[in-house]
Amino acid sequence: MTDTATISKGSDWGYAPAPESTDHIRLKDRYGLFIDGKFTPPASGKYFKTINPANEKVLAEVAEAGEKDVDRAVQAARKAHDKVWRKMSGRERGKYVYRIARIIQERARELAVVESMDGGKPIRESRDVDIPLSAAHFFYHAGWADKLSYAFPGKKVSPVGVAGQIIPWNFPLLMVAWKVAPALACGNTVVLKPAETTPLTALLFAEICQEAGLPDGVFNLVTGAGATGAALVKHPDLDKVAFTGSTDVGKAIQKALAGRGTKLTLELGGKAAHIIFEDATIDQAVEGIINGIYFNQGHVCCAGSRLFVQESVEEEVIAKLKARMETLIVGDPLDKNTDIGAINSRAQCDRINDYLKIGVEEGAELFQTRCSVPGKGFWVRPSFFTKVAQSHRIVQEEIFGPVLAIQTFRTLNEALEKANNTPYGLSGGVWTDKGSKIFKVTRGIRAGVIWANTFNKFDPTSPFGGYKESGYGREGGRHGLKPYVELT
Ligand code: NAI
Ligand code: MG
């Protein structure tokens, strides 16, 4: 008798656990600030804890930077800019940036595991998306360092100076790369503040800068929460501020900088329209919907969080979507089978659950998968709402979780009108067999990035950024160099 003959239909066909090993991870109990090339304690002596959101265990204590520390970091960055980095040839600067890229590749496995432990994202994503893209951003920008005069022909290109950069918790190391790589390649020095729930890969990045022999003070790291970020923005000696995060904090930063010459770029929230036409390849489109909203637990500013399905294929799309969603595995982020990891923090989990309640109260119909979730940690099952109206809060506001709002449309113009009925303008998506429809939709939606027959694809050569309340300025590509150069 062969093995297959013994398999009964009632067998449990679930995947066996496939946990990534953590044996090679050596986290310190306590991390200081990284200022002028050295790890140093904060002036206040205060530390905060960063936890693993999948089991609520403390991973390490991290220094809380106050005004004095921020000032020290900005002074170090100023000195390094004026005395060393600005004067160095692009070719020499490029060598350091290449070196950083290579060390990220060498330490990729460690970085991926720490990213998943600190922030809750599935190892498959940190291993295959976050870390390789972070290295790619450094490689790409290293290549620009000695070619800036080709990027801006006929212009004299100089660095802007000292950049204060504040990043969120959804793509911790990748946001370090998006911010730091163009800044350094263009001759600027940096004071970076990572998010308070995910500081660990930024701290490992500081170690990487040491390993690369980056001159002291070129990259400085101040850890802490919103108050540390506000202290950085307030510092009078910054030439440039770059922020990625919520629209509310973006607006507060814009106000704080009003009347100052400090340059500012903002990459804020989104509520992307994802449009499926009846002529699309429905099975592929369903994969696109899944990737659009359930990638990284939906903690994605460009997530396809508003789905518009042409009325004639509504039933088919929803039936296939439900079936596909039931196969999604929610659980241990370090398990290689996991599709959806832990929600980044208790606060974010509460926000998402509040929106689930709001949606039901507004009269929408909620669907959630039946998968099991672990007892400890922060989890939300993949969810969507149907019977939603344009005015519903779940349609207008960024939820930043695995929650999709589904609407239908009859004509292309109706789809465009609904898609643009949002305060945001970061991204969008369209699925159709017809090239002409792709052009009509991509021209008709006011958003910085629009994907056609795919979603959530990123590349360092491609500029990323928004319109309206999604912010301004671009990151990536030649456009992304602009905020970091003075052209004369
Ligand atoms: P947030 O905007 O407060 O956090 C982003 C970063 O800004 C963190 O490093 C934080 O410490 C820092 N920050 C907070 N207050 C600050 C201030 N006054 N001055 C300077 N820096 C400050 O976002 P939060 O509260 O963690 O998440 C709330 C919502 O924001 C999410 O539900 C989501 O809708 C949105 N969000 C959007 C992101 C995006 O990539 N577009 C990223 C993170 C959050
Ligand atoms: Mg954490």
What is the rounded CA–CA span in Å between residue 42 and residue 46? 7
Tokens representing 454 are: 């795919």
Residue pair 405/387 in contact (Cβ under 8 Å)? The answer is no
Residue pair 77/164 in contact (Cβ under 8 Å)? The answer is no
Q: What is the pLDDT of residues 224-235, one digit of tens each?
A: 999 999 999 999
DSSP 481: G
Query: Is a pLDDT exceeding 60 seen at residue 438?
Result: yes
- Helices (H) and strands (E) counted in the chain, each on its own, are 16, 22
Tokens representing 304 are: 């396809």
What is the rounded CA–CA span in Å between residue 182 and residue 199? 21
Atom of ligand 1 nearest to the CA of 252: 18
**What pLDDT score does 14 carry?**
81
Q: Mean pLDDT, to the nearest integer, of 92-121?
A: 98
Atom of ligand 1 nearest to the CA of 269: 41
Give me the percent of the chain exceeding a pLDDT of 70. 98
Tell me which residues have their CB closer than 6 angstroms to ligand 1.
Answer: 166-168, 170, 193, 195-196, 225-226, 229-230, 233, 244-246, 249, 252-253, 268-269, 301, 348, 351, 398, 400
Q: Where residue 13 falls among pLDDT bands split at 50, 70, 90?
A: confident
What is the rounded CA–CA span in Å between residue 34 and residue 42? 10
Structural domains of the chain, with CATH: 30-268+467-487 (3.40.605.10), 273-452 (3.40.309.10)
Ligand nearest to the CA of 347: 1
Of 249, 254, 301, 472, which is best to mutate to test ligand 1, by the most ligand atoms within 8 angstroms of its C-beta? 249
Q: What is the pLDDT of residues 358-394, one digit of tens each?
A: 999 999 999 999 999 999 999 999 999 999 999 999 9
Catalytic residue list: 267, 301
Instruction: Write out the H or E segment, with its range, that includes residue 318.
Output: helix 314-325
Length of the chain, in residues: 488
299 CA → ligand 1 middle, Å: 12
3-state secondary structure of 116: helix
102 CA → ligand 2 middle, Å: 26
Give me the percent of the chain exceeding a pLDDT of 90. 97
Query: Is a pLDDT exceeding 90 seen at residue 5?
Result: no
What is the rounded CA–CA span in Å between residue 238 and residue 349? 35
Distance of CA 410 to the CA centre of its chain: 33
Q: Whose CA is nearest to atom 16 of ligand 1?
A: 226
Q: What is the pLDDT of residues 321-345, one digit of tens each?
A: 999 999 999 999 999 999 999 999 9
Q: Mean pLDDT, to the nearest integer, of 403-428?
A: 98
Q: Whose CA is nearest to atom 43 of ligand 1?
A: 245
At position 192, the amino acid (one-letter code) is: L
Q: What is the pLDDT of residues 250-292, one digit of tens each?
A: 999 999 999 999 999 999 999 999 999 999 999 999 999 999 9
The position carrying tokens 């998010």 is 195
Residue pair 295/328 in contact (Cβ under 8 Å)? The answer is no
Residues 6+ apart with CB under 8 A from 479: 463, 465
Instruction: Write out the H or E segment, with its range, that includes residue 136.
Output: helix 131-144
Ligand nearest to the CA of 119: 2
Half-sphere exposure of 44 (CA within 13 A, CB side): 15
Q: Where residue 1 falls among pLDDT bands split at 50, 70, 90?
A: very low
What is the rounded CA–CA span in Å between residue 155 and residue 484? 14
Residue pair 107/205 in contact (Cβ under 8 Å)? The answer is no
200 CA → ligand 2 middle, Å: 8
Residue pair 441/412 in contact (Cβ under 8 Å)? The answer is yes
What is the rounded CA–CA span in Å between residue 416 and residue 66? 47
DSSP labels, 258-301: TTS--EEEEE-----EEEE-TTS-HHHHHHHHHHHHHGGGG--T
Q: Mean pLDDT, to the nearest integer, of 39-64?
A: 98
Mean pLDDT over each residue of the chain, to the nearest integer: 97
pTM greater than 0.85 (yes/no):
yes
Query: Is a pLDDT exceeding 90 seen at residue 313?
Result: yes
Interhelix angle 314-325/282-294, nearest 10 degrees: 60
Ligand nearest to the CA of 48: 2
